[in-house]
């Protein structure tokens, strides 16, 4: 992740991890909702977009959300191996 290990600090590492979409569970869930809406939206009305978004979140939201959070936690812990101990 970092080229020079001297630049690695806990603050820098956490900031970088938070802005990476693949490590941000909110961004990952939002991307799946947007993809679902884009795939099934045929009327292009705001009401239809809202209905599809709610449908996607309610159908698989909880389990999928917990998987995204688990993935992010594992990645954070793996990245912690690069923090130098002084």
- In angstroms, the Cα distances linking 79 to 17, 27, 38, 48, 69 are 9, 19, 34, 41, 15
Q: What is the pTM of this model?
A: 0.60
Contact 33, 65 (CB under 8 A): no
Query: pLDDT tens digits for 5-63?
Result: 556 666 666 666 666 666 677 788 888 899 999 999 999 899 999 999 999 988 876 78
Higher pLDDT, 72 or 50: 50
How many C-beta neighbours within 10 Å does residue 68 have? 19
The residues spanned by each domain of the chain are: 5-82
């Amino acid at each position: 992740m970092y080229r020079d290990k001297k630049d690695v600090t806990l603050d820098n590492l956490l900031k970088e991890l938070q802005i990476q979409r693949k490590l941000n569970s909110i961004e990952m869930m939002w991307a799946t909702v947007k993809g679902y809406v884009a795939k099934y939206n045929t009327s292009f009305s705001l009401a239809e977009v809202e209905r599809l978004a709610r449908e996607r979140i309610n159908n698989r939201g909880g389990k999928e959300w917990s998987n995204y959070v688990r993935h992010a936690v594992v990645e954070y812990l793996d990245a912690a191996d690069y923090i130098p101990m002084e």
